[in-house]
Amino acid sequence: MKKILIVGATSTIANACARLWAGEGSEFFLVARDKQKLQQTCADLQARGASAVVPYTMDANDDIVLHRAMLERCLETLHCVDICLIAYGTLPDQSACEQDVELAMTEFANNGSTVIALLTSVANLMAAQHSGTLAVISSVAGDRGRPSNYVYGSAKAAVSSFCEGLRPRLFKLGVHVITIKPGFVDTPMTQGLALPAFLVAQPQAVARRIVAGIERKVAVLYVPAFWALIMFSIRALPQSLFKRLNL
């Protein structure tokens, strides 16, 4: 029976992953900012076979000091953490961020610095127990800064780079770190965007790949897999050409 901590538990991707783990009888400590949605998620997972589900209301962006109290409560409940999935974030309006410094910094914090703060605390928790898998949802947007979303992309790039350094540190202590890089997924975050239908993945398929990747202890997971090739091609573009494109 797995003991699983999920931060951002009401997000579409996290919820789809949790449903798969619930079918295995896992025990959950779920963290989210919307109390009502969190209660609904807990009830759903219990109905799907979870052995225990404990909700904890917190906005991880409010104050990083709150992270410690949450993790202490998590350990009191689960006693150890087999899997921690960090799955929260926002998709900012790039144009608005370009005109508003405070908004740009807020969005960078929402998607980057607060995630790094939480990763640091969870990493120390798992290092102390010498076991577990720390999974964080980053994004393909972090692979190269593009004019359409470079505030969001730079925050995700920071998270991905942080995990790249964290991985060898924790490997020596028996802990695995997996960086998950989704492309476009059919979630509320992408609703209203003009996206090619063939590039938009369904949450259930994404969740299956994530759960399997965590089980196999993959280091970096592109979801769906074809995004690895897409982003390789984008990274390979020379600056002389790249700066002329509207990507």
b vs e for 88-97, b when ≥16 Cβ sit within 10 Å of the residue's Cβ?
bbebbebeeb
Which sequence spans correspond to the domains of the chain? 3-242
The pLDDT, as a whole number, for residue 195 is 78
The pLDDT, as a whole number, for residue 193 is 75
Which residues of the chain register pLDDT less than 70?
none
The pLDDT, as a whole number, for residue 84 is 98
Upstream peptide bond of 224 is cis (omega within 30 degrees of 0):
yes
Strands (E), the chain: 3-7, 27-32, 52-57, 83-86, 133-137, 176-182, 220-223
The pLDDT, as a whole number, for residue 190 is 83
| Rg over CA atoms, the chain | 18
Output the CA torsion sign for 174, 72, 155, 197.
positive
The pLDDT, as a whole number, for residue 97 is 98
Strands 27-32 and 3-7, how do they pair?
parallel
Give residue for tokens 């914090």. Answer: 109
The pLDDT, as a whole number, for residue 2 is 97
- Please give the structure tokens belonging to residue 12: 């579409």
Q: DSSP 3-state assignment of 57?
A: strand
The pLDDT, as a whole number, for residue 189 is 79
Cα 189 to the center of its chain, rounded Å:
13
The fold of 3-242 is Rossmann fold (3.40.50)
pTM for the whole thing? 0.95
CB 183 within 8 A of CB 224: yes
CB 88 within 8 A of CB 141: no
Q: What percent of the chain has pLDDT over 70?
A: 100
